Structure 1
Amino acid sequence: MASPSSYSTVAAGSTSIPAITALDVNHPYFLHASDNPGMVLTTVILTEQNYSQWRRSMEIALSSKLNLGFVDETYVRPAVNSMLLIYWIRCNNMVTSWILNSVSLDIRQSVVYMKTTHAIWEDLKVRYDHTNVPKLFNLRKELSHLTQGMMSIAAYFTKFRTIHDELECLSAKPRCTCTTCTCTINSKLEAYDQTVQLTQFLMGLNEHFTGVRGQILIMNPLPSLSQCYSILLQEENQREYTGNVSLNKDNIAMSIRQNTSGKSYQTKTSQKSVDTSVVVCEYCHMTGHIKEKYFCLHGYPPWHRLHGKPKPRPKSHKSTVAAHVSDNMAPSVSSEAASSNSGSLNLTDGQCK
């Protein structure tokens, strides 16, 4: 912190204006060039339901800027004749602007006219920092019923860690504060809490993590919750990769089967779609097929229901035509022969009989 000797007074008429020759960057009243009243220090906006989370976020942000002392009144207001007064007022107003930017509109209107940052901070604490017992009850109940379900490992871990950390914030466990303590009770309590936290996290995992869960439980020493999450995440990624590979193999096999069946169907369709009324076989001179697909020469094709059976006997086109012609011509020839015979002998009907 800068000492009073680093400040000097400059006379301006009847008014004395304090002037600073140099202000160290670690001075609590130092403001960076990027600091402005419109800054938003946290994305958590204070409502009536999230005071604990908002307070924790604001404490982290203000402490990083060395301004937490304005809300807890560690940086008291300097005396009226102090050269640091105007810089304290400047920083106090800056922190007040940051707090107003992080609360809802209704809450902002109720605290905007307060004079100091500490007054706003304490007013919000009295109004919204209610008893923790109901909140603790709901959080512990939610944590005891929390399971992975359809969530990924990352989503399940985030939800579990959020509930657990909020419980720790609302109900901090007592620790030994003795400076000369030799019982190492703090380290034992820390190890016990980590074991309870790890086992409770593993209890909510799905059944297909049973194998890796058993391997984690027999490790000595037990891994931390973060290390356990890393192991489970690798297992989940490996399962997804294996599933994708098998799925791709199934898709390829199905595609091959579909293409093969499609080609067979197209072959059958193309073979059956030929106009058989104009096709004449060069071998037997019959219609309905061609020589290259004549069953009597090449046998039945694979798609035919008689495939594998002996070749059929060929049918002669000439013999078929001759038989057809002889059948048609036989009655006429017989009648003509009878009439010629009857005409040459001049026999009567009675004689013929």
Structure 2
Amino acid sequence: MADGVQIFELHKELAHISQGPLDIASYFNKIKQLWDDLASLSANTNTACTCGVIKKSNDEQKVFQFLMGLNDIYIQVRNNILMMKPLPSIRTVYSFLLTNEKQRVVSSGSQFSTQSASFQDGVSRHSVFPKVNFDSPRTLSLVRKYCKKPGHTIDKY
């Protein structure tokens, strides 16, 4: 039989766990370690059920615990997940949140500063868009694909 104090401490830690400064993967690993520790300590207590109801209930509790500890920037994603019928698995929830986190990183890294060269005064349109010739060198004397006129290249437009 597992030590009741250890099980109590794990439940207490799970009740107070939060993402804080951790990324989604680190937060998930932290909470999963607690779930695994708890499962190993109480492995003999849930063996009577063979219909899967307890496992489904435990999986739902994991989803709720994981979502409760998320930072507030994930409120919209959390709400969307909670509205799903049936509630997705913890693996699916984790995947959704990883994807959302990656999208946040990409979108925050691609925002333009007002100091960017493309927004400064005096920058011509031609310096923003590089000159590109999509035709191969051997077809230079042929009719251009861009405007269908001989000798015209895309950089003239």
Q: What TM-score, normalized by structure 2, do the two folds share?
A: 0.69
Task: Name the CA shift for 1:135/1:222 in 2 (closer, same or farther; >3 Å).
Answer: same
Residue deviations 1:178-216 (CA, integer Å, cap 9, x gap) = xxxxxxx53111111111111111000011111111111
Alpha-carbon separation, structure 1, partners of 2:58 and 2:7: 17
Superposed displacement of residue 175, structure 1: 2.6
Q: How many residues are treated as equivalent by the alignment?
A: 119
Give me the identity figure in percent. Answer: 35
Find runs of 4+ consecutive structure 1 residues off by over 3 angstroms: none
Residue 13 of structure 1 corresponds to none
- Helix, strand or coil: the match of 1:194? helix
Q: Deviations over 1:87-131 (max 9, x none)?
A: xxxxxxxxxxxxxxxxxxxxxxxxxxxxxxxxxxxxxxxxxxx95
Matched, 1:147 2:18: yes
Following TM superposition, by how much is the alpha carbon of 1:244 offset from its aligned partner in structure 2, in angstroms?
A: 0.3
Higher RCO, 1 vs 2 (CA within 8 Å, ≥6 residues apart): 2
Look at both structures and tell me which one has the larger radius of gyration over its CA atoms. Answer: 1
Paired residue type of 1:135: Q
Q: Alpha-carbon deviation of 1:149?
A: 0.7
Q: Secondary structure at the match of 2:56?
A: helix
Q: Is the 8 A contact 2:7 2:38 kept in 1?
A: yes
- Is 2:11 aligned against 1:133? no
Letter in structure 2 aligned against 1:170: L
Structure 1 spans left out of the alignment, 5+ residues: 1-129, 178-184, 261-353
**Residue 48 of structure 2, aligned match among 167, 173, 176:** 176
Cα distance in structure 2, aligned partners of 1:186 and 1:161: 24
Shift of 1:255: 4.9
Distance 1:256 1:149 in 2: 36
Q: Which runs of 5+ in 2 are unaligned?
A: 122-157
Match of 1:243 among 78, 103, 108: 108
Which deviates further from its counterpart, 207-216 or 130-139?
A: 130-139
Summarize deviations over 1:225-247 as a string: whole Å, max 9, x none: 1110000000000011110011x
Tell me the TM-score normalized by structure 1: 0.32
